[in-house]
Every structure is written in C-alpha cells, then in structure tokens.
Amino acid sequence: MNQDKIRVRFAPSPTGPLHIGGVRTALYNYLFAKKHGGDMLLRIEDTDQTRYVEGAENYIIESLQWCGIHFNEGVGIGGPFAPYRQSERKAIYKQYALDLIDKGYAYYAFDSPQELDAARKSYEAEKKNFQYDQHNRLEFKNSLTLTEPEVTAIIESDEPYVIRIMIPENEEILVTDLIRGEVRVNSTQLDDKVIFKSDGLPTYHLANVVDDYLMKISHVIRGEEWLPSAPLHVLLYRYLGWEHAMPQFAHLPLLLKPDGNGKLSKRDGDRMGFPVFPLQWTDPQTKEISSGYRESGYLPDACINMLAFLGWNPGTEQEIFSMDELIEAFSLERVGKAGSKFDPEKAKWFNHHYLQQMSDARLAELLAPELTLKVPHLDNEKLLTVIGMVKPRMTFIHEFWEQASFFFVAPDSYDAKSVKDRWRQDSAEIMKKVGDLLQETEPFYAAVAKHNVMNFITEAQLNTGQVMNALRLLIVGASKGPDLFEIMELIGKEQSLNRIEKGIVALSQA
C-alpha cells in the first residue's frame, strides 16, 4: 500500500464530450481527495490516436471547472509529474513492457489483425469464445512459438508487433476493492491482453498502471466497467515489482438510464429530453449538438448535489449539501454497490432549490444581458422587485420571461383556457367599473388599489375570485403570476388602465 499522501487521478479519454457519469467519477475522486487533504490530478489518456476528437480535452477541462471540481496538477496546470498527457509520455512506456518480457511475464506477438479476426470467427463458428490465452497462445505467431533468430529478425524489420502479457496458469488473483470487498478471479479466465500496441503506444492497461505508479497515485477510483480488468492490473503491478505501492481500488457503480436498464447514454438524453453532458457539445464532424446542463439552465451547485447523491448518501436525512459539506461528509464506505437510475425530476428539484437560494441581485445580473434586448429601458430597481415576486415559481433561470413578461410588456394574447374559465358574460361590464375605480385611485399603490377594489366587490355583492380572475386576465393575459395589485402598482396606473381597456375590447370581440 502507498503510505504517502492521498493522491487520486481523474483520467478520461478525449474521445468526445465528458458524460455526466464521468463527472460523477471526477466528483467522487475530488471529494475523497479533499476530505483527506490529498491531491487530485487530471491525466488525459489519449493512447488511442484513432479515437482522438478535436476539442474533447478542452471540453473536459471546462466542464470540471464549471462544476467546481479543481485539480492540483495535470493537463492545463502542470505539476511535478508532467507531462500528464499520455501521448506526450510515449517514450516512457516501452521500457516497462520490455522489462516484463525480460522477466518472462510478457512476449512479442506478430499475428496480424486479419489473422486474429479469422481466428475469432472460426471460434465463433463453433460457438466458442475466442480468447488469446494460455490454452492457445502456442498456436499463434509469437516469441513463444518462433525461434529467437526469427523473433529478432521480425523486430528488427518493419514488421509490426505487439507485446502481450503472459497470464499465469491457474492462479487465484485477489482484488481488494474499497466498495465491493474482495473479488477473486482465477487467472485461467484471463486472456493475454495486448499491453503494448504496434503503433508504439501502450494500451490503457499498461499506461494506467505505469502512470499511476510513477505519479504516486494512492487510490484508483473509477467506474465499474473497469472491475473485470482489475485482476490484470494487479498482475501488472506484481510483475513490474510495484505491488508494495499498488493503489487501493474503488469501483463505482454505474449510472443507469431513467427507464429500463442499462448504462445511461447520449441517446437516452435525446430521447427523454434531459442533458447527459455537463456542457453543450457540438460534434466537430457531424456538427450535431448535444445539450448540456449549463446551457439548459442548471446551476453547478445543483448538478453537484444531485450527482453526489447518485450512488452515495450521508446516512443522515440531510439532502442539500454544498461542495464543502460534501467534502466533509463524503466517504467511500457510504457509496452503494448497485447502479442508480438517473432521475431528471429530482435534478429539477435540486435546481429549484438552488435557484431559490440565489440572491435576487445575482439573478438580476444573470438576467440583465438578455433582458435589455427585450426591455429597452430596464430599471434595475424594478427588476429586483420583479425577481423577488417571481423567483419561487422558477425552476430555471430561462423561465423568467415566461413568468414575468407582463411586468414589462402588455399581453399580446390571452390564454385560451383562462378565457374560457374566467371570462363571463358580465365580465366586460364589471371590468369597466373596475377600470373607472382604478382611474380614481390615488396614489396608485397596491394597498390602496386593493382596498378600493375589495370595497367595490363587497358593495356590488360580487364574488372576489370572479372579479380578480377576470382582471388578472386583462393585466397578465393568463391565470398566473404574483399578487395582482403589486403587479399593477409596478406597471403603473396608465399601463394598467390601458391593458384593461384593450383587454375588454379584445375579449368582447371573441
């Protein structure tokens, strides 16, 4: 075990936008590191140049920054173990693969992809599972079956070759996982995985072990999809002579799609109308756009809080946690084992909560730029007041206009259902009287107007709801919004009377 400082890494592959599940993995790493006063680093695992996607790396960095997940070292920051991009570390991997060959734990293999493909197909034809392993490694073209001169000749020529690990026979391999306990696998089940590719780069397995060792990683916290290859990694640490410094493993349960089963995917988001990515992403190839949490109006705090609870819980009944509180409360022991379905509704609930917590002033700042386009002479004082009234009915910032447009512009249409339910035969006549009443209301304050209208209702022996609902329809254009008298005070007498007058005409024609 690594005795030193807690050091964790988040090591994504820049093959596209970072999935929300990846963000959660990063978050748990971050929480764990901070909780224990440790460091977290960002390493980019780009050993597969065929899958490189333009912009993905920046996307990853920007996403985590937006979420408030910060690194101590890594790509974009630097640090004592730089470089942190595996493609830039190319020179350091081969020696370890060679070392493994020297020790008899690995061997060269010269089978072409076509040959392997053919072998795979012939196995499948017999309904057998193809695996390049101890049962058949002597049937292939490799340094185990060729003579030494032959092997040397090939290596010195331009012929491509790979290096495969030589899995031992019938050995029980123990993986100790912080979340799952002890997982035992017999080596007979494992195949001789390629650890070094013909393009001169290592595969994930070798690269991740070498780098985690060199970068003094103490804990590997990653997705459950890595559990099946964890025994291989244990073997690599052992054969490289690093077992004493092997990090502890924690394999996180998967994030599942909201309906049915299976891993949450991009398609589910499109299908069910919620983002699967932290930030909006435009595919550089197809130009296809995938929505992001940020652009959809989610607050970073809400995303983090929601994500933290997908697979972890504090054991108390508290559900609202700031990042600092999460750091304080987090522990890997309280991470569950089963995958969790992503719930878009709960995500909204978290967002609503955090939006309510946001100060009116801050909201105004965020709203102002777009609002000034719609409202030429935006009065900040007024905006603040409106926000105070409308905020409780907003889950997202972009809902503001829908909930508050009538504070700034007169309704240009009247909600059909509201008209049907609230506008009666006698409404026009009553509204005219209310209009006259308001015309005489001075000063035009909410309290005064309310007093006058309520008096009128009582004296005329009318129904409060009936009058107010009709009036609201004229002022707002629908059955929604805060206290009507407050609205009228804010838009002013002239505007109020205008709307009443125009509304009566419009609705009488209908």
Partner RNA sequence: GGUCCGUUCGUCUAGUCGGUUAGGACGCCAGGUUUUCAUCCUGGAAAUCAGGGGUUCGAGUCCCCUACGGACUGCCA
- 141 is a site residue for RNA (CB under 7 A): no
- 74 is a site residue for RNA (CB under 7 A): no
CA distance linking residue 463 with residue 98, whole number of Å: 90
Q: Which residue lies nearer to RNA by CB, 228 or 372? A: 228
- 9 is a site residue for RNA (CB under 7 A): no
35 is catalytic: no
User: Of 53, 92, 101, 116, which lies in the binding site for RNA, with binding defined by CB under 7 A?
Assistant: 116
- 57 is a site residue for RNA (CB under 7 A): no
Transcribe 249-286 into DSSP letters: EEEEPPEEPSSSSSB--HHHHHHHT--SBSS-EE-TTT
- 112 is a site residue for RNA (CB under 7 A): yes
- Would you give the DSSP letter of residue 88? G
**Quick check: helix, strand or coil at residue 11?**
coil
- 346 is a site residue for RNA (CB under 7 A): yes
Which of the residues 266, 341, 348, 480 is marked catalytic?
A: 266
Give min distance, CB of 372 to RNA, in A: 25
Give min distance, CB of 3 to RNA, in A: 25
- 103 is a site residue for RNA (CB under 7 A): no
- Virtual torsion, Cα 286, 75, 49, 115, nearest 10 deg: -130
- Would you give the DSSP letter of residue 150? H
CA distance linking residue 134 with residue 139, whole number of Å: 10
CA distance linking residue 205 with residue 185, whole number of Å: 17
- 492 is a site residue for RNA (CB under 7 A): no
Give min distance, CB of 305 to RNA, in A: 11
CA distance linking residue 165 with residue 486, whole number of Å: 75
**How big is the site for RNA, counted in residues (CB under 7 A)?**
88
CA distance linking residue 273 with residue 345, whole number of Å: 11
Residue 277: what are its φ and ψ, rounded to 5°? -120, 150
- 341 is a site residue for RNA (CB under 7 A): yes
Specify the stretch interacting with RNA by CB under 7 A; choose among 146-154, 223-231, 294-302, 361-369: 223-231
Enter the tokens of residue 126: 């017999």
Q: How many helices (H) and strands (E) does the chain have?
A: 20, 14
CA distance linking residue 434 with residue 428, whole number of Å: 10
User: Of 9, 85, 294, 472, which lies in the binding site for RNA, with binding defined by CB under 7 A?
Assistant: 472
User: Of 317, 381, 412, 440, which lies in the binding site for RNA, with binding defined by CB under 7 A?
Assistant: 317
User: Of 39, 57, 111, 211, which lies in the binding site for RNA, with binding defined by CB under 7 A?
Assistant: 111
User: Of 91, 138, 338, 373, which lies in the binding site for RNA, with binding defined by CB under 7 A?
Assistant: 338
- 337 is a site residue for RNA (CB under 7 A): yes
Give min distance, CB of 382 to RNA, in A: 18
> Smallest Cα–Cα separation from 118: which of 105, 101, 135, 132?
132
- 354 is a site residue for RNA (CB under 7 A): no
* Beta carbons within 10 angstroms of residue 134's beta carbon: 17
- 66 is a site residue for RNA (CB under 7 A): no
- 304 is a site residue for RNA (CB under 7 A): no
Give min distance, CB of 180 to RNA, in A: 4
- 367 is a site residue for RNA (CB under 7 A): no
User: Of 334, 362, 424, 432, which lies in the binding site for RNA, with binding defined by CB under 7 A?
Assistant: 334
- 228 is a site residue for RNA (CB under 7 A): yes
HSE on the CB side for 167, CA within 13 Å? 28
> Smallest Cα–Cα separation from 255: which of 490, 23, 72, 486?
23
Enter the tokens of residue 186: 């017999």
Note whether 265 and 277 are within 8 A (CB). no
- Binding residues among 244-273 for RNA as defined by CB under 7 A: 253-254, 256, 261-263
Give min distance, CB of 137 to RNA, in A: 12
- Binding residues among 180-219 for RNA as defined by CB under 7 A: 180-181, 183-186, 189, 191, 193-194, 197-199, 201, 203-205, 207-208
- Binding residues among 146-185 for RNA as defined by CB under 7 A: 160, 162, 180-181, 183-185
- Binding residues among 388-447 for RNA as defined by CB under 7 A: 392-393, 418
Q: Which residue lies nearer to RNA by CB, 238 or 480? A: 480
Total residue count of the chain as it appears in this document? 510
CA distance linking residue 111 with residue 142, whole number of Å: 7
Q: Which residue lies nearer to RNA by CB, 13 or 427? A: 13
The CA-based diameter of the chain, rounded to the nearest angstrom, is 112
User: Of 53, 55, 187, 224, which lies in the binding site for RNA, with binding defined by CB under 7 A?
Assistant: 224
CA distance linking residue 18 with residue 255, whole number of Å: 14
Residues annotated catalytic, as ranges: 266
